[in-house]
Amino acid sequence: MPPTLILETTAYTEGQLAHKDVPQVALAGRSNVGKSSLINTLAGRRKPIAKVSATPGKTRSINFYRVEPGDFFLVDLPGYGYARCSKSERAKWAKLTQTYLTKTPELRGVVILLDSRLEPQRIDIELVEYCRSQKLPILPVLTKADKCKQRERARVRKSWGLLLGNVPPLFFSSFTGEGVDELWEAIHDATANDEQEQAEDA
């Protein structure tokens, strides 16, 4: 049975970024990369907990999903790149995201979602480089794997492999369920030390 995801906090401003005393793993990606579908797939529930929209950029807040068992948070960051909104609105989201990424000591890693059908995009590469500059562990995930042919998979994985070094990307499909167990395992590994400490303190 998959872990349970519970939407606990929604933050639209820096002042709403409530302090959490448990580890967190963030989810980041372009507005049309399939982030909401991935969250719903990880939740393993018939009723979606993250709204999937045909219009990119609907997530305009930072959403904190508590994961049980495990007692940590998956944090859904606003999508970037294709949102239909003003420059000032995009700047507002960017500042909120930057504040979260740089001022959250409980952050244990960033799951960066990448479209498996595309070659590395500049905006994605910039996010990878930014996370590295902040010394944040990266968990690269290639989404929409069911729409990517085997030959294309090898090509895009090689392209990202050259940029990511020793962090091989994981293929994921919300349609077939491919990569769900592997992604959960990677997320749990990112918070493993915290979970072990909590068990020892209990």
Q: What is the largest CA-CA distance in the chain?
A: 49
Residue type, 132: R
List the domain boundaries for the chain: 4-201
Q: Homologous superfamily of 4-201 in CATH? A: P-loop containing nucleotide triphosphate hydrolases (3.40.50.300)
Per-residue confidence (pLDDT) for residue 51, from 0 to 100: 65
How is residue 67 written in tokens?
A: 């994961």
Per-residue confidence (pLDDT) for residue 1, from 0 to 100: 67
Q: Per-residue pLDDT for the chain (202 aa), expressed as one digit of tens each?
A: 678 899 999 998 888 887 678 999 999 998 889 998 999 999 887 677 776 644 444 557 899 999 998 889 999 998 876 555 555 555 676 888 999 999 999 999 999 999 999 888 888 899 999 999 999 999 999 999 999 888 888 888 888 887 887 788 999 999 999 999 999 999 999 998 654 454 444 4
Per-residue confidence (pLDDT) for residue 114, from 0 to 100: 93
Which of 132, 126, 131, 153 lies closest to 142, judged by CA? 153
Q: Which residues contact 73 (CB under 8 A, 6 or more apart)?
A: 8, 20, 22, 23, 24, 25, 64, 65, 66, 67, 106
Record the pTM.
0.86
Sign of CA dihedral 124, 25, 43, 195: positive
